[in-house]
Amino acid sequence: MTPELLASLREVVGDAGLVTDPDQLAGYLTDWRGAYRGTASVVVRPSTAEEVAGVVTLCRDAGIALVPQGGNTGLCGGAVPDSSGQEVVLSLTRLRRIREVDPVNQTITVEAGVVLQQVQEAAAAVDRLFPLSLGAEASCTVGGNLSTNAGGTAVLRYGTMRDLTLGLEVVLPDGRVWNGLEKLRKDNTGYDLKHLFIGAEGTLGVVTAAVLKLYPALHGRATAWVALPSAQAAVDLLGVLRTLVGDRVTAFEAMSRQSVEVVLRHVAGARDPFASPHPWYALVELGDTLADAGLDGLLESALGEAFERELALDAVVASGSAQIAGLWSLREGISEAQNHEGPSLKHDVTVPVSSIAAFVAETDRALAAAVPGIRLVVYGHIGDGNLHYNLSKPVGADDEEFRVRADELARIVYDGTARFDGSISAEHGLGQSKREIVADYKDPVALQLMRGVKELLDPAGLMNPGKVLPS
């Protein structure tokens, strides 16, 4: 980067908006897992949409590529620069204002750098709910949630980030600011442009603010941990719950025994709710706006039906907030706990709910044949078909020998996903990790249309190059 461009950037964002010290740069140049690393000589940290526009304009004129970054909690390398040292990291973490909370209209308008937990807290302060909930909610940002179309544990009832968004403010690759911060539920005046940028991982523009939907706060809650004989029993149990309690089902997480075992081994304070192991488990949660909605009774009645149908082997209904937190820790601790087992080959896929059991059975067999003794950590938001299909090496196997087979084993998972009409990315995005392989699984016409949109909005290819679109 030329001294002249650096000086111009400083004029736009001030001294506080530039990071050039190598020690301070380090945290921006790798993802939180350490799986992806890049280089850059500068990180630019604007504090307003206007400053973002100024940075984008300067870099466009200089032919410098930008890598937008939020909380940097992604799993696919989508917010990490390349190794050339020529890209500029554009951190949005100083765009952290909550511009408006409108409980009557049930909306909240926030900037891209606002942390998800802060959105939840601002909603709760006016007796409203922002339902997106993720394991990284204390550090991930709204901009990153939008750029990856985050899902989380409440998709079953409330949908993904795409469903939770009414309007966006976006800095386009040419430096113009599109003010699409609508609070309307109905606007039939042409193309709904916000959907171009949600899930685009910063390749089409920089999201600087959003209008998000709020919902009535939930004051009643009932949570249960259920032992199951199979993945099919989890699907069937979900059907029972939907029939008997309707949209009060706010979360339905399923996980294999292996998933729970890694948590019990590596998470302090974790304990098995049951005296003996079971093949599968479900974490079920009901929610209602009324504190006295009788949710415990409804949940117990639904579980009784499940026992009669031989879908459930055992169950415990949480008796208080501490027990609820303990049950959720068994689910939320899986990803981090697995990392203690050596290389963790993570896959975020989705298939139709009706195909989950067959997909799991077929893919388990194929992986076991390829690597005898492989440990399969399979869990996810089964109500929307999203499974985290993660692989750990056989006990005692060499780390590097297992790691070098990552592409081969990913093919087994993704080929199975394709056979069941699924997607190789449910909620983590494509980033760098799935950028090339997606061409083998996505409709060619769809890829052609995506490239056309990219060419239209970013003809110079300076917005997060090397991400999402195959080369």
Q: Which residues pair with 168 in a beta bridge?
A: 180, 210
Pair 358, 378: CB distance under 8 Å: no
Q: Are residues 107 and 202 in the same domain?
A: yes
Q: Are residues 236 and 307 in the same domain?
A: yes
Average pLDDT over residues 29-46: 93
d(CA 133, CA 6) in angstroms, rounded, equals 38
Tokens of 321: 């907030």
Distances (CA, A) of 408 to 241, 345, 359, 366, 412: 38, 11, 18, 12, 7
Average pLDDT over residues 285-298: 96
User: How many C-beta atoms lie closer than 10 Å to residue 313's C-beta?
Assistant: 18
The percentage of residues in the chain with a pLDDT greater than 90, rounded to a whole number, is: 96
β-strands 206-213, 107-111: how paired?
antiparallel
Q: What is the pLDDT of residue 383?
A: 87
Q: Kindly report, residue by residue over 245-270, the tens digit of the pLDDT.
A: 999 999 999 999 999 999 999 999 99
User: How many C-beta atoms lie closer than 10 Å to residue 42's C-beta?
Assistant: 18
The answer to whether residue 113 is domain-embedded is yes
CATH of the domain at 35: 3.30.43.10
Main-chain phi, psi angles of 161, to 5 degrees: -60, -30
d(CA 197, CA 147) in angstroms, rounded, equals 7
Pair 57, 49: CB distance under 8 Å: no
Q: Domain range holding 347?
A: 342-440
The answer to whether residue 35 is domain-embedded is yes
β-strands 66-69, 88-91: how paired?
parallel
- Strands (E) in 8-120, as ranges, are 18-19, 43-44, 66-69, 88-91, 98-102, 107-111
Fill in the amino acid letter for 400: E
Average pLDDT over residues 24-45: 93
Distance of CA 116 to the CA centre of its chain: 12
The answer to whether residue 205 is domain-embedded is yes
Q: What is the DSSP string of 404-445?
A: TTHHHHHHHHHHHHHHTT-BS-SSS--TTTTTTGGGGTS-HH
Q: Where are the alpha helices (H) located in 129-256, listed in sequence order? A: 142-147, 155-158, 194-197, 231-245
User: How many angstroms separate the most distant Cα atoms in the chain?
Assistant: 74
CATH of the domain at 162: 3.30.465.10
The answer to whether residue 75 is domain-embedded is yes
DSSP state of 314: E
| Cα torsion 132, 138, 144, 150: sign | negative
Domains identified in the chain, total number: 4
Number of H helices, E strands in the chain: 16, 19
The answer to whether residue 468 is domain-embedded is no
Q: What is the pLDDT of residue 258?
A: 96
Distances (CA, A) of 159 to 101, 105, 132, 164, 348: 21, 19, 9, 7, 17
Average pLDDT over residues 373-397: 94
Last residue in a domain, options 181, 216, 251: 216
CATH of the domain at 231: 3.30.70.2190
Whole-prediction pTM value?
0.94
Last residue in a domain, options 335, 358, 375: 335
* Element holding 54 (H helix, E strand): helix 49-62
Indicate the length of the chain as a whole number: 471
Distance of CA 401 to the CA centre of its chain: 29
Q: Are residues 347 and 385 in the same domain?
A: yes
Q: Where are the alpha helices (H) located in 84-193, listed in sequence order? A: 116-124, 142-147, 155-158
Q: At what angle do helices 49-62 and 3-13 cross, to 10 degrees?
A: 170
d(CA 209, CA 44) in angstroms, rounded, equals 18
Q: Which residues pair with 43 in a beta bridge?
A: 19, 89
Q: Kindly report, residue by residue over 413-449, the tens digit of the pLDDT.
A: 999 999 999 999 999 999 999 999 999 999 999 999 9
Question: Band of the pLDDT at 32, cuts 50, 70, 90?
Answer: confident
The answer to whether residue 470 is domain-embedded is no
The percentage of residues in the chain with a pLDDT greater than 70, rounded to a whole number, is: 100
User: Tokens 């059975």 sit at which residue?
Assistant: 361
